[in-house]
Amino acid sequence: MRCVSDWNERYRSQGCDQTEPEPLLVRYAGLHAPDRALDLACGAGRNAIFLARTGWHVTAVDSAPAAIELLRSRAGEDCARIDARIADLERGEFSIEPDGYALIGDFFYLQRSLFPQIRHGVRRGGLFVATIHMFDDSPGVRPMNPDFLLQPDELKAAFAGWEILHYIERKQAENQRRRAELAARRID
């Protein structure tokens, strides 16, 4: 289980210098007309703010109040399109509404028990876009709890039966952890 107080301390002391949205989200969000979107474990809101600025109505969820405070302060006038919620996903404090979203984003957060909710939460024709860390024991890569790391092909398998628009497992740079990237459309 992740410790909310650690994340609060991180956001309060270090802030968050990442303000650019995840490139995979930028690439695929335009495939669907702006509608309702969900940003899981949104952090300081870089992806939620991007979606709101491009016309989406976004529910942004994170367990760290400090992250939600940063999101609200950074969103400015776009905050009207963002429903920022403090909720611990691991404790089930937020449920994904069935067929509730045209797009769900999950970036660098792994909670396997959410995959079925995500599958049901994306409307037919909607998108799931994710970039999630993978197990990587390469020299120079910081150790992490394996419960929060994907195994090879695990993310792709979790969305079997969907139209896979993009899938790759790769390392961005030396000493960085491998990641899985997925953009998939619900077709059932």
What is the topology classification, in CATH, of domain 22-185?
Answer: Rossmann fold (3.40.50)
Closest CA to 107 of 47, 175, 149: 47
d(CA 10, CA 43): 11
Q: In what order do the strands lie in the sheet with 178-185?
A: 82-86, 57-62, 36-40, 101-107, 122-133, 178-185, 163-171
State the pLDDT at residue 109: 96
Residues of the chain with pLDDT under 70: 1-18, 137-140, 174-175
Contacts of residue 156, defined as CB under 8 A and 6 or more positions apart, other chains included, come to 164, 167, 180, 182
**In this predicted model, what pLDDT tens digit does every residue of 100-112 receive, in sequence order?**
999 999 999 999 9
The pair of three-digit structure tokens given for residue 30, joined into one six-digit string: 């335009």
